[in-house]
Amino acid sequence: MQFDYYGGEAAQLAADLVNSPALWAPGELETLLVRHGMARGLPDAGEIDAAWEWRGRLAPCFGAQPLEQRCGVINALLDEAASRPYISLHKGPPHLHYAAESAGRSARLRAVTATGLSYVVCFASADRLGRCQRAECAQVFVDTSRNGRRSYCSLRCANTDAVRRHRAQQRSAAQRGAAKSRGV
């Protein structure tokens, strides 16, 4: 599934924020924001703190949950990130910007990520905001697969979980075989 930059890509930024390491240095947050086209120089301590707090607010938007609950969480984010969307004509066809460039990086980050999550829920499927099903993994993701049935954050987690399930089946089969040979 293809998402445009101002919809699904903004939701991917939200996922990347949630998945980011526990502590940020200014350069680490800048690298993440550059990758998503939002950085202009090193963030200051206030912007880092604001992004860290917002990161915690984004996390509950991902994973299996009732639609009403997910929409309630995203609506609260949209309310807090209230901005003045406008149509921009720079860089190609008309497209939406969710906050003015002059709004400041923290305000733009809140507006872009909250709107991106709402975009996925409204125009794709709420189920595309996933959380890895491997018990040992806490990563979140935006499912861009064609059929929208992704369950793991990465191929590595999917393979690790498949190997774990296979080995558990082998142990179970071996235990049943041993029990039969003992006449149990």
Residue 121 and residue 71 in contact, taking contact as beta carbons nearer than 8 Å:
yes
* Residue 142 near residue 15, CB atoms below 8 Å: yes
Structural domain count, the chain? 2
Please give the Cα distance from 37 to 16 (Å, whole number): 13
For residues 93 and 120, state if they share a domain: yes
Beta strands in 48-128 (DSSP E): 86-88, 95-97
Q: Assess if residue 3 is contained within a domain.
A: no
Q: What string of pLDDT tens digits covers the 184 residues of the chain?
A: 555 555 678 999 999 999 997 667 778 888 888 888 887 778 888 888 999 999 999 999 999 999 999 999 999 999 999 888 888 888 788 888 888 878 888 999 999 999 999 999 999 899 999 999 999 999 999 999 888 999 999 999 999 999 999 999 998 888 877 777 776 6
Q: Model pTM?
A: 0.84
Are both 38 and 91 inside the same structural domain? yes
The verdict on residue 91 lying in a domain is yes
